[in-house]
Amino acid sequence: MPASLRSLAKRDGWVRLLRSPFLRWTTAGLVLFLLFVKIALPLFISTPLIKDNMEAALSRWTGARATIVGSASISFWPGPALTLSDIRFETEETTAPFATAKAITADFDLLAALSGTPVFYDFHLLEPVLTVRRDAEGRSNWPTPLWMSAAIMEQSRAGSATPRGEPIGDIVIENGSIDFEDAQTGYSGRLDRIIGAIAWRSPEARLNANLGAIVGGEPVDLNLSVDAPMAFLAGRDSRLSAAIGSGPLQIAFDGTGAGGRYPGVNGGLQLSVPSLSGLARWFGRDAGSAVQTSSLALETTISTTANELKMDDLTLTMDGTNATGLMDLARRPGESHKLNGSLAFDKLQAETFAAFSPFLLSKDDASQQGIALLERLDVDLRLSAQTASYGQIVLTDLAAGIMSSGERTSIDIGDSGFAGGSLNGRISMVDGGTKGAEMQVSLKNPDFGALVQNLGIDGPTLRGEGTLSLDLATATPLNAATINDFAGDIRFRGGRGTLTRFDIDTFRSLIAQGRFFDSAAASDGAFPTQSSEIEAMLKDGVATLEKAEIRGEENTLVLTGVIPFHSNGLALAGSLTANDNSAPAVRFFAGGSWPNAVISPLSALPAQP
């Protein structure tokens, strides 16, 4: 068929369709339907009646007295919907409104509305504001509607709620906010710009919520799913999953949960913090000197009861440091809460945990002073690590315990490897070290040569077997304390060893000359020792030698005096005596700075007047 004939046939088909009775009747029916929706339906449905029913429904659903202050309007396209403006919800406990909303739109069942009993569902809330308060006696302004109380009671008794028949549908929130006021703790806060939807077909159906808000200037997303909401509120287990996502913090939970009088959850928990200092700032804490790069990731199986929280199969990762273990937090009414647990690290860097310092202090609004969080938490924590370090101090096979009660905290270190020997001791702190600390440390048979070298100490030093004991205390904050701030006792007990860079024969020869000389002139040699005993008292950065006796096979060296660490100086009186009295004892004075001391034979000093 030629193209012109095909085009003519197609136009003829359109003409026949436009002239067909079917199209005419269809068009007429559509016009009549639109006229019915726009003109006739409003005549059959009373707007004041719908408004009154909506007001009663809102009061029934929320448990608060709903008052529609503004206007009401009904639309029928694309479906029947009622829009109310300026709504207030009030409770009997307070004169301030429990909640307000700029507008609420709800769909309703047309046939039920025509019969005078409208059923509402699928709500859209514009700029709702919810205020949650708790007074000094612990009473909340949150109302519990009768239908919810009945459904919860039904669940707790029979195991399944009686279907209510009234749908809820989707609840869409646009630009909402929640204000929190707690008279017991003095806390107040606000969630802004809440948007999202809650899908809840009926009270017995699964609840899914996808919401977003601004918290502390950060956007936060919440995803929540509860399989059996009424069973959950009745205190029975329900499948539960929740996820909170924000820049500073991400939390995800998947398991079961129960609400009611004794709430609890049981399932897998994952937590991720890209930066602890960023999290501290989000919480309104001063990040201070917290490690800026400190990240934290936690994964565990969590179970809670009314008074206990357990974390089993705990895996902790912090800046490349991995740990496994378990934790148990017990709530003790009238007492401090108790934290027990154990963590095993592959490697442990103590400086990294300085990033937690902003979280150890909370702000007392009354005094505007920091108070230790540990004052409200008793701790009994056991730690182990293949390697542990603090600055240049490196321990191996560490076994330690942290105990805290009230304002005092103690760290006990068992026999751990250190510099080829072992270390054990205790550090006791007040307010987490902010008000000082006490330290008792014992080093047994370390490689003193390597230890001295690591500390950058030069000059004559003792090497060999021995035990070094430190018993020191300071009132200065531990993180800011220097050696000038410590006071206490230092003791050393040694066996066979060597006093390096001390040639005893050259030393005697130079003393005999009766002239001043540099100690370096007698450093080309070593003094083998059989035993050594040193006792010193440290105060204000000055070590006072109360006893220093180094005994060899043939000679004994004795020193007394002071060593000011702040000036790297020394002022010592000494004697070198032959054990068999085969040679006269020589006495001398050592002064100047370490390690280049100036030796003054006693005979070279001016005579006393």
Sign of CA dihedral 495, 501, 506, 509: negative
Q: How far is CA 576 from the centre of its chain?
A: 59
DSSP-based three-state secondary structure for 120: strand
Annotated domain spans of the chain: 11-42, 448-604
How far is it, in rounded angstroms, from Cα 527 to Cα 524? 10
Task: Output the pLDDT for position 16.
Answer: 55
Q: What is the largest CA-CA distance in the chain?
A: 145
User: What are the angstrom distances between the C-alpha of 184 and each of 135, 139, 285?
Assistant: 6, 10, 21
Residue 452 has pLDDT above 90, yes or no: no
> 430 pLDDT band (50/70/90 cuts)?
confident
Q: What end-to-end distance do the CA atoms of the chain give, in Å?
A: 145
Residues 6+ positions from 449 with CB-CB distance below 8 Å: 461, 463, 500
> 512 pLDDT band (50/70/90 cuts)?
confident
Contact present, 521 and 513 (Cβ < 8 Å): no
DSSP state of 604: G
**Percent of the chain beyond pLDDT 90?**
27
Residue 115 has pLDDT above 70, yes or no: no
Q: How far is CA 392 from the centre of its chain?
A: 27
Higher-pLDDT residue of 104, 121: 104
Q: Read out DSSP for 131-169?
A: EEEE-TTS-B-----HHHHHHHHHHHHHSSPPP-----E
> 366 pLDDT band (50/70/90 cuts)?
very low
Task: Output the pLDDT for position 9.
Answer: 47
> 557 pLDDT band (50/70/90 cuts)?
very high
> 529 pLDDT band (50/70/90 cuts)?
very high
Buried b (16+ CB within 10 A) or exposed e, 37-72: eeeebeeebeeeebbebbbebbbebbbbbbebeeeb
Residue 169, token pair as written in the block? 């549908």
Per-residue pLDDT of 297-321, as tens digits, reads 999 999 988 788 999 999 998 877 8
Per-residue pLDDT of 59-95, as tens digits, reads 888 888 888 888 888 777 777 888 889 998 888 766 6
Task: Output the pLDDT for position 342.
Answer: 93
How far is it, in rounded angstroms, from Cα 249 to Cα 267? 19
**Percent of the chain beyond pLDDT 70?**
78
